[in-house]
Structure 1
Amino acid sequence: MASTPRLVVEVFEHVNFHGRKITLVESIPNTTEIGAQDVISSIKIYQGPGFTASPNYKAIFHEHANYKGRRLVLAPGFYPNIHEIPYNFGDAITAISFSPAAHPTPPVYGAVPVVIEVFRDVDFSGQRSLIMRDVSSMFEIGMNDMISSVRIQRGPNFPFSGCHIIFYEHVNFEGRRINLDLNSREFQKSVRNLRELPHSQSFSDIMSSIKIVPLGVFRVLIVVGDNLTGEPAVLQSLTTLEGLEFQYTTVHINDNPDNRGDPNNAIKLSNVTLSNYDIIWFTWFATGHDGEYFVEDADDAIKDFVRKGGVVWTSAMDNNIVPPDGVHASETAWRGDWLPVDRHPIDVVGAEDANVTITEDGQKTGMFTWPHKINVDNLVTDDHWVTNDPSYQKLVVREDNGGPIGIQLQWGDGYYVGFAVDTRDAHKTAVAKPLIENTLCYLASLAWQTSPRQPLKGRYRTSQNNDIMF
């Protein structure tokens, strides 16, 4: 044990310094020794009593045991969420060391498909601002309702298929819109006066948000566990949305005809190569319902799919999967081991349809305004999520009890996204169709950045070394 530690490191199980805390002052080759393997989400690093003897000391967090794999090098400071883009190292630490010579891991901005310059006045003059990712409110950059000219050029991560840039009249991607596209053969585009664009006479100086849409082709695995759902037919009709292309494969994983299954076509999900897809779409009650759990054989494969950059969507889940045993449980319960519930606890409880509210986090996703404005109270909701784990972003909550209806969790490089929407009949499915369309667009925007199948992920991996996060 170091008698005069140069650094004192506190690692936390959850983001924002919540959950179990472990204090370290010396290297550890395997965090299983302290019960912290792959569960660290936030970090505090203090200068210790011996820091002045070696003021360049850094803490190094390693992906694999014995100080191997990717490295995250941090100087003294507070790091409330290492899941986020600048570091993207949450739940991935298996060894910790200290070194006086290591250079800190610089924050990484993330993918930049296009570089946009917006100007207050025509002819690219007046106040200027640079934009390289979605802006949900132009108030954030001090240019709300004051853009008159625009320049767009390819960014370092320009997609092979091109990119759409959508300018909106209102914040959070609402109101009228103008599309400015950069196709696969164009390197830049300039508009010296937005009033000169067709149908834009009344659009100049009223832009309040901007969405960047990298184009591509995305493979979606539709998983069905209850034959009542109408989602597969809707999804399969949506082959092109907002310039994005979708290719679908549908699998049935419930072979019980007495529980709304398909004995003739059902297969084990573990027989499907999940890495062939960018997105897994669990339809209503797909993972299990009415006393049966359909994905036990694939629980670990699903988590691994997300950890490596895949995106999983889930519609409403059933809380009636595990029957009461009369000893430990007196009521039926949900089961969801396809989520990392051991690290990030969450449950599903029975509920009726309710009015809901989109949170600020939900608004920033654009999932409820792009490409359609969604009135979430028109949707029919079902059993909903319950969690106190701050790692879950609550996108939509019930008005009566604040229970989350829509959630998002980053796990490794990928994401889980869910909304407790009911699609068990034709009417409920029809009402949900605009949300399904929006969700596909949003999931594609995530998968473009994270999926191992997408060109961007491959480009990053060939251009980065082990010390830089991506």
Structure 2
Amino acid sequence: MKRLLAAAAVLATLANTAFAGEMTIFADSNFRGNRVTLERDARNLSDFGFNDRISSVVIRYGTWQLCQDANFRGRCAELGPGEYRQLPFNDSVSSIREISRGGPGRGPGWDRDDRDDRGHGRGGWDRGERDDRRGGPDVILFQDRDFRGPDMALERDARNLTDYGFNDRVSSIVIREGRWEFCEDADFRGRCEVFGPGRYPMVDMNDRISSARRVR
């Protein structure tokens, strides 16, 4: 009986290890510069010499929360398995923790985030995933965070999202190809931010985007 219990404990440990989260953080965009691979929570990235230095990440396992302040405080974003060439809050991450565990992603950069048990993930992303397999649009805009709610495909510059019924309604974005500039005002004016290929579960300019154009 003791041997059986010991064997079960070993198997449980191996299973737990097999699905432990794994994230690699990079100092520069497009997975360049100094890097660190995390397999456990980091309450303060100063301990790793990476405070306010992260520009891109690769997540192989698990869903991770990235926060602007130490001890998982301040503004945070949740990212699932995939490649994120440029973060929406570049060089402003101070703590990281794993919030759910799971297997590896299904492909580079465009993995579906299987977080149904947390109440979000598949709602809008399934549409984006199907488009990707068929060679779909360069950009998909979603009304709600985590790729949920009504969505809009974008394959060319949009000088005014009012024309599409999507002005000041964008909360999350999927970019399949190119670097895109999103601006708070029509005709690419006001405050603007540039995002590269990746999945952005909640953009910093939430519900404030009025125009978008490809810049590269």
TM value normalised by structure 1 = 0.23
Higher helix share: 2
- Compare CA radii of gyration and give the structure with the larger one: 1
- TM-score normalized by the length of structure 2: 0.47
Q: Which has the higher contact order (CA 8 A, sep 6+)?
A: 2
User: Normalized per residue, which structure has more strand?
Assistant: 2
